[in-house]
């Protein structure tokens, strides 16, 4: 499939949202709310649960499963308090040595007057810096759209997985086309030029691996995802927190291409 078709697939309203993965992957869940500073953002869900026998902190950007939910969580566009809530749960996970599993699915952080007033940029920036130094494993799975800084705010992980049709992009292809070519209809071309597919991400070192999609057999798909995550976490279990942070840092430190 071409990049733009992948993007359409990633945005498909029928596609399972973060909540569906969380319900399938983790048992004995307690959902936690609020950033302890301003509000609870329904676009970012999070809590504690068991992955097999391992207690973990899960955090996901939720697009909503029906229209009512979608409006409530602004179609999966987090507010600053969403990022601050995520960071609070991650620091809590670090304190109790729990691994963190993040699910990313957003067209981007919310663009609004209130979001700017409450420091959308500052909230994301803080997540990037603090996640980089977190002394517990972080695994991020991009399950749909990985839209720009709003997606990056939950993606500073030790490992990043991309679902087969998930995409990750610095800007929406529509936005790119309208800025560069003053024509949002050229989004398909922009999608191609921007290199946003799961294969592109593994090539650039932005993602470790691609996860095949099989939504017709969603339980089976989640079962194998669960096995993979358990295996990853077992692999991390003997690594000291400092080293996990250092590995994460090195993973990002080398990203980019230049000549010298």
Q: What's the token pair of residue 80?
A: 């600053």
Q: What's the token pair of residue 86?
A: 């995520």
**Hey, which residues between 104 and 143 contact other proteins (CB under 8 A)?**
109-113, 115-122, 124-126, 128-130, 132-133
Query: How would you classify the pairing of strands 159-163 and 209-211?
Result: parallel
Is 179 an interacting residue with respect to other proteins (CB under 8 A)?
yes
Q: Which stretch binds other proteins (CB under 8 A): 27-35, 49-57, 171-179, 210-218?
A: 171-179
We find the least distance from the C-beta atom of residue 259 to other proteins, in angstroms, to be 5
Q: How many CB atoms lie within 10 A of CB 198?
A: 25
We find the least distance from the C-beta atom of residue 164 to other proteins, in angstroms, to be 17
The gap from C-alpha 41 to its chain's centroid, in whole angstroms, comes to 16
Residue with tokens 């070519």: 181
**Cα(213)–Cα(146) distance, integer angstroms:** 16
What residues contact 237, with CB distance under 8 A and at least 6 apart?
none
- CA–CA distance from 212 to each of 147, 164, 255 (Å)? 20, 5, 25
Residue choice 168, 232, 236, 244 for contact with other proteins (CB under 8 A):
168
Is 156 an interacting residue with respect to other proteins (CB under 8 A)?
yes
If the CB atoms of residues 72 and 237 are measured against other proteins, the closer one turns out to be: 72
Q: Give 2: exposed, middle or buried? Use CB within 10 Å, 0-12, 13-18, 19+.
A: exposed
Q: What's the token pair of residue 182?
A: 């003053």
Measured between its terminal Cα atoms, the distance across the chain in Å is 36
Residue choice 51, 196, 198, 211 for contact with other proteins (CB under 8 A):
196
Is 216 an interacting residue with respect to other proteins (CB under 8 A)?
no
Is 71 an interacting residue with respect to other proteins (CB under 8 A)?
no
**Cα(19)–Cα(114) distance, integer angstroms:** 26
Q: Which stretch binds other proteins (CB under 8 A): 43-51, 90-98, 201-209, 230-238?
A: 201-209
If the CB atoms of residues 25 and 134 are measured against other proteins, the closer one turns out to be: 134
Residue choice 65, 135, 195, 226 for contact with other proteins (CB under 8 A):
195
Is 22 an interacting residue with respect to other proteins (CB under 8 A)?
no
SS (H, E, C) 10-34: HHCCCCCCHHHHHHHHCEEEEEECC
If the CB atoms of residues 67 and 129 are measured against other proteins, the closer one turns out to be: 129
We find the least distance from the C-beta atom of residue 130 to other proteins, in angstroms, to be 8
Q: What's the token pair of residue 123?
A: 């909230």
Count residues binding other proteins (CB under 8 A).
51
Is 45 an interacting residue with respect to other proteins (CB under 8 A)?
no
Question: Which parts of this chain interact with other proteins (CB under 8 A)?
Answer: 109-113, 115-122, 124-126, 128-130, 132-133, 148-149, 152-153, 155-156, 168-171, 176, 179-180, 193-196, 200-201, 204, 206, 249, 252-253, 255-260
């Amino acid at each position: 499939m071409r990049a733009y078709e992948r993007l359409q697939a990633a945005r498909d309203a029928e596609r399972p949202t973060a909540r569906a993965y969380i319900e399938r992957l983790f048992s004995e869940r307690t959902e936690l709310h609020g950033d302890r500073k301003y509000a609870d953002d329904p676009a970012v869900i999070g809590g504690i649960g068991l992955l097999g026998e391992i207690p973990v902190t899960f955090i996901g950007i939720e697009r909503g499963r029906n229209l009512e939910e979608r409006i409530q969580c602004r179609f999966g566009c987090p507010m600053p308090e969403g990022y601050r809530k995520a960071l609070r749960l991650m620091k809590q996970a670090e304190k109790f040595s729990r691994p963190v599993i993040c699910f990313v699915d957003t067209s981007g952080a919310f663009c609004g007057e209130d979001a700017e007033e409450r420091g959308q940029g500052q909230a994301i920036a803080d997540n990037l810096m603090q996640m980089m130094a977190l002394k517990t494993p972080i695994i991020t799975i991009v399950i749909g759209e990985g839209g720009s800084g709003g997606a990056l705010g939950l993606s500073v992980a030790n490992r990043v997985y991309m679902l087969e049709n998930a995409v990750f992009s610095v800007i929406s292809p529509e936005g790119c086309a309208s800025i560069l070519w003053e024509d949002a209809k050229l989004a398909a071309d922009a999608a191609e030029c921007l290199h946003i597919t799961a294969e592109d991400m593994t090539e650039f070192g932005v993602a470790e691996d691609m996860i095949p999609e099989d939504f017709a057999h969603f339980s089976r798909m989640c079962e194998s995802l669960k096995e993979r995550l358990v295996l990853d976490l077992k692999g991390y279990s003997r690594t000291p927190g400092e080293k996990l942070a250092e590995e994460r840092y090195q993973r990002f430190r080398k990203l980019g291409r230049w000549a010298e």
